[in-house]
Amino acid sequence: MDKPTNQNIRIGFYVCHCGSNIAAMVDCPAVAKYVETLPHVVLSRDYKYMCSDPGQELIQKDIAEHKLTRVVVASCSPLLHEHTFRGAVEAGGLNPFFFHMVNIREHDSWVHTDKAEATTKAKELAHAAIMRVAMHKALEVKRVPVHPDALVIGGGIAGIHAAMTLANAGKKVFLVEREPSIGGHMAKFDKTFPTLDCAACILTPKMSEAGSHPNITLLSYSEVTKLDGYVGNYTVTVKRKPRYIIEDKCTGCQECVANCVYKEAKFPDEFNEGLGKRKPVYIPFPQATPQVVVIDPKTCLNFRNGELTGKCKKSCVTACGEKQAIDFNQKETFLELKVGTVIVTTGFKAFDAKRMPQYGYGKFPNVFTALEIERLVNSSGPTGGHVVLRDGKTEPKSIGIIHCVGSRDKKTNRWCSRVCCMYSLKLAHLLKEHTGAEIYNFYIDMRTPGKGYEEFYDKLLEEGVHFIRGRVGEVTDWAMSKEEMEKGKLVIRVEDTLAGYVRRIPFDMVVLATGLEPQEDAQSIRRMLNMSCGTEGFFLERHPKLAPVSTFTEGIFLAGCCQGPRDIPDSVAQAGAAAEALVLIDKGYIEQEPNTAYILDDECCGCKSCIPLCPYTAITFDAAKKKAVINEALCKGCGTCVAGCPSGSIVQNLFDDEEIFSEIEGVLAHE
């Protein structure tokens, strides 16, 4: 590796106006003029949009005409356009790593208010880049082969769609779902807005298709517990929870359920939000995929505190007969999978309405969450679609729907959950249809952006549903007046901001439109997959606009509500996009930054202090030569060993000592 000599360093510098994004706060011509005076700079220009085609062509033309050997562009964040300019430099015939980028937009023009100061900062950052780029070496991009199989974590609508897309393209997919059945939240919904399609009618065919697809291995009642390996070649450990049923042998006939020693279903049913009852052996819902029952050891008489007691007469086993699908001795097992790409579709958690005690959920029986109502209006729900109060018989005559519960609220979650206005409208329509009750919606703002959404709102207005603009203060069972109308009812107290006074309105039933939150274990998934989270705790995409389904780790993609609240069409669209994984699989390799470290053999004294520093055990000791050796395939380029080497004999490509020291000198050079 030749140290570049002065004669062959000819730097071209470009400062981008980014329209007025940069030029409004940084004097771009002044920066260009300053840089022109610096050593090795043969050309310095300012230009309106460097990332545009003409901007990139300008670089290529200048490389040819002015025999440039290095290029520096001062514009936006390198996380956004470094690859663009590296491409331009390469197209101009130079090694793409003879390029450096200066961030004078996100780190300068957008965050400062004094033009002189911002310009000085831009000059100093540019000076550093000029000094640094002179030290750059030619490097080659590493290509890592990608394992052709894919993993989808989470079997809601996004996960199912992503898995189906990959599988239909002929790729092998592992679909991991932690519940006994795939389907996610959508399986619980009755109808979907704004078309009022039956959710089950559109989802369940897709579920069974995914369940029987030859290219999809469905791992239900399972969780991903570990992800090892490196980009494009992961080893995934999946925990298979014991369902005490041998999946291959169960036909879903449910004879065991009918013959359970519990004649009556008496345990709260998770799928129906606890509104219905199930037996210890059950199938979560009629269209569950896979069609395999599950035994709950917490309620089954054959178990006590998770230990097998054998005290039940096991009528289920007898009922199962020759199929012999029931196995009480099943234990947790761990499965290892090899995959190249991962699509994360872990979905959301509904806001816990108990966190807003003023609305009385859990205190007043007739305060319901929206998900509970979804089950109540569903004809295969716990009441067969008959909307009744918690007592199981009374039909409500008046219903109040409170919007933004756990959304747009500084005390709980600040974000808008995007779907609540629309699903509240849908529930208002369905409740009206089922009960003929008077229905009131209490909203802060109606948010109905989407195809046919505003029209749906108009339709509801025509249907005679009432809308009151104001955040509800409280739900109370205290009747203020002696009037009969408040007695025994739930009273919503709200400031009607359009009418301009505080109202008390009595209801039989109150529905809380709970918002969407990140899953409880989102943080541990994030750590496992080395992703980032936004402030709210939803997974962070690589770029909100240009790379909305990619993450910062190549080969790991996001779709659905784990990235932020969204409705079904958006989740499905995004899941289709997450099948971008296909591109990687078909290309067969991932390109990686060549920022790995290597040892200077002549200088290494064999002290071994670098070896324990490496988190990837990429460094080993060559006992014969008495030198450390770095395995380039395992090195991920963090540079920790470089900083720790006492003799300075480890070099990190792209971030070597002389590059960084010249950058330090550069940022401080300007007086």
Q: Does 600 bind other proteins (CB under 8 A)?
A: no
State the amino acid at position 94 in one-letter form.
Answer: L
Q: Region of 19 please: left (phi>0), alpha (psi -120 to 50) or beta.
A: left
Contact 544, 329 (CB under 8 A): no
Does residue 112 bind other proteins (CB under 8 A)?
yes
Residue with tokens 């896979």: 290
Question: Would you count residue 634 as binding other proteins (CB under 8 A)?
Answer: no
Residue 539: CB minimum distance to other proteins, A:
11
Q: Which is nearer to other proteins, 112 or 466 (CB)?
A: 112
Query: Would you call 243 exposed, middle or buried from its count of C-beta atoms within 10 A (0-12, 13-18, 19+)?
Result: buried
Task: Select from 255-263, 404-412, 441-449, 638-646 the region that touches other proteins (CB under 8 A).
Answer: 638-646
107 is an interface residue for other proteins by CB under 8 A? yes
With CB under 8 A as the contact rule, the residue among 49, 110, 230, 364 that binds other proteins is: 110
- In sequence order, which residues have a C-beta less than 8 Å from that of residue 152 and are 6 or more positions away? 159, 162, 163, 166, 173, 174, 175, 176, 342, 343, 345
Is 334 near other proteins (CB under 8 A)? no
113 binds other proteins (CB under 8 A): yes
The sign of the dihedral angle between the CA atoms of 246, 249, 253, 255 is negative
Contact region with other proteins (CB under 8 A), list: 242-250, 418-426, 465-473, 656-664: 656-664
Closest contact distance (angstroms) between CB of 340 and other proteins is 20
Structure tokens at 487: 């007695």
Q: Does 519 bind other proteins (CB under 8 A)?
A: no
Tokens of 182: 């795939």
- Which tokens go with 342? 């991962």
Of 259-267, 398-406, 556-564, 630-638, the segment contacting other proteins by CB under 8 A is 630-638
- Counting contacts by CB under 8 A, is residue 27 touching other proteins? no
Verify binding: residue 120, other proteins, rule CB under 8 A: yes
Q: Is 28 in the site for other proteins (CB under 8 A)?
A: no
Residue partners of 278: CB distance under 8 A and separation at least 6:
265, 267, 268, 269
- Considering only 316, 460, 619, 638, the residue that binds other proteins (CB under 8 A) is 638
SS3 per residue for 470-530: CCEEEEECCCCCCCHHHCCCEEEEEEECCCCEEEEEEECEEEEEECEEECCCHHHHHHHHC
* Binding range to other proteins, per CB under 8 A, among 64-72, 109-117, 207-215, 446-454: 109-117
Is residue 116 a contact residue for other proteins (CB under 8 A)?
A: yes
Binding of other proteins at residue 520 (CB under 8 A)? no
Q: Binding of other proteins at residue 522 (CB under 8 A)?
A: no
Burial class (CB in 10 A: 0-12, 13-18, 19+), 288: buried
Rg of the chain (C-alpha set) = 31
Q: Which of 9, 118, 200, 529 binds other proteins (CB under 8 A)?
A: 118
- Does position 269 interact with other proteins (CB under 8 A)? The reply is no
Q: Is 326 in the site for other proteins (CB under 8 A)?
A: no
Q: How many residues bind other proteins (CB under 8 A)?
A: 51
Residues in 534-553 that interact with other proteins by CB under 8 A: 534-535, 540, 552
CB of 407 to other proteins, least distance (A): 19
CA dihedral 414, 415, 418, 423 (to 10 degrees): -30
Site map for other proteins, 63-82, x if CB under 8 A? --------------xxx---
Q: Is 144 in the site for other proteins (CB under 8 A)?
A: no
**Sign of the dihedral through C-alpha 314, 380, 489, 457:** positive
Asked if 663 touches other proteins (CB under 8 A), the answer is: yes
Query: How many other C-beta atoms lie within 10 A of the C-beta of residue 21?
Result: 18
DSSP β-ladder status, 70-75 and 11-16: parallel
Structure tokens at 134: 């002179």
φ and ψ of 329, to 5 deg? -95, 5
Residue span 473-512 as binding mask against other proteins, x where in contact by CB under 8 A, dash where not: ----------------------------------------
Q: In the complex, which residues of this chain contact other proteins (CB under 8 A)?
A: 77-79, 103, 105-108, 110-114, 116-118, 120-121, 124-125, 128, 527, 530, 532-535, 540, 552, 595, 613, 615-616, 636-640, 642-644, 652, 655, 657, 660-661, 663-665, 667-668
